[in-house]
Amino acid sequence: CLLSCLQTQLVFLSGKTGEQVGSSVVLDSTKTANHLLHRTAAGSYYVLLQKDTGLYGLALWRIAAKAKAGMEQGLKKDKDWEKAANATSGLVPMFQSDSLRHVLRTGETGDPPNLLLVTGNEVALVDGKHPKTLWRFNTSSVLGEPSFGHFNKDEVLDVVVEDDIGNYTKRVVILDGKSGGVLWEVELLASPNSPRPSAIHTSNSFSIFVFWGMMRSEVNSSEPLESDRRSYLLHPLYSKVLLQSTSFLEHIITFKATLLEGGRHAAFILLTGPEESEGTVVLRKRKLKNDVPDSKVLRIATGGSSESNEDIKEAFNRLRFSDW
């Protein structure tokens, strides 16, 4: 086990006893805000250090050698990554930024997965095999962590980003996982207490996307209230419409869209309760399809969809869900 604190002190802990193995390693560099353990295609492990100047990789064998933990001989070296390492510090520059906020694995089954980075004004995909940037997408200000799902059928996970564009408005954008190009977008009022977007995979190689907010045409005030919050379902095959639900108006502490019963159905898991620290909280499970009959079909694109509202709802009812 590896622990990184704000003083950029790296420590090995025994997974069996929790005791420290070897000595502490203090890096001669800027402070580290977070870290992630990454395995390269060559089987070498690197600790990815999130610093105030960007993302850097440091080989685990280097850390083990400094800690004198007696395990560096069994750790593989990656020649390609080491070619890019700084001769003095050993750090491999992955991405330069003075406003790096999030570093996320894409969740793909590939070895190794790519890394999605979020800064103050852009989203970037970094190659997990080689320390290089694959694509960048400029934003105004990303709200929270992006999420992943399959909008198209190229078997590469696409990225859902919520971009704060001002005036209580956010732009929900689905980016192509291969190129970073925009596949789909919509503007919503950014209602308070809205969970991050989510997606549930189907047996047809695409995902159903879930996000929260409020259509400006559906509310009188320019400043949305928590009671104005709605949940929306997006079906990629019917991308000119959204299914709007008003089922969740309570204060949401946490939310997750997931598969249950071996993938037989998709459900929302919600923990709701008071905004204050004290009070009763309620954990609920609700099947995604339970909201379909009472949901409103919104036509959001010019020309809309040729299918009737009943046809759209039936398309959601026919969905079969599966694991990633």
| Greatest alpha-carbon span in the chain | 69
| pLDDT of 228 | 72
| pLDDT of 4 | 44
Over range 264-280, report the average pLDDT. Answer: 83
| pLDDT of 131 | 87
User: How does residue 209 score in pLDDT terms, banded at 50, 70 and 90?
Assistant: very high
Those residues whose C-beta lies under 8 Å from the C-beta of residue 207, and which sit 6 or more positions away, are 149, 150, 151, 199, 200, 201, 236
| pLDDT of 1 | 46
User: How does residue 126 score in pLDDT terms, banded at 50, 70 and 90?
Assistant: very high
Q: How far is CA 315 from CA 186, 208, 231, 292, in A?
A: 21, 11, 18, 10
DSSP per-residue codes, 190-235: --TTPPPPEEEEBTTS-EEEEEEEB-GGG-SSSS--GGG-EEEEE-
On the question of pLDDT at 110 being above 70, the answer is: no
- What is the pLDDT of the chain when averaged over all its residues? 87
Global model pTM greater than 0.85: yes
| pLDDT of 3 | 46
- φ and ψ at residue 216, rounded to 5 degrees: -60, -35
Over range 53-74, report the average pLDDT. Answer: 88
**How is the chain split into domains, by residue range?**
1-100, 139-323
| pLDDT of 5 | 46
Q: How far is CA 82 from CA 59, 61, 112, in A?
A: 8, 11, 17
| pLDDT of 227 | 67
CA–CA separation, 56 and 92 (whole Å): 5
pLDDT in tens, 280-293: 889 988 888 999 99
Which bin fits 22, alpha (ψ -120 to 50), beta or left (φ > 0)? left
State the residue for tokens 């190129």.
Answer: 179
CA–CA separation, 194 and 65 (whole Å): 46
Over range 135-159, report the average pLDDT. Answer: 94
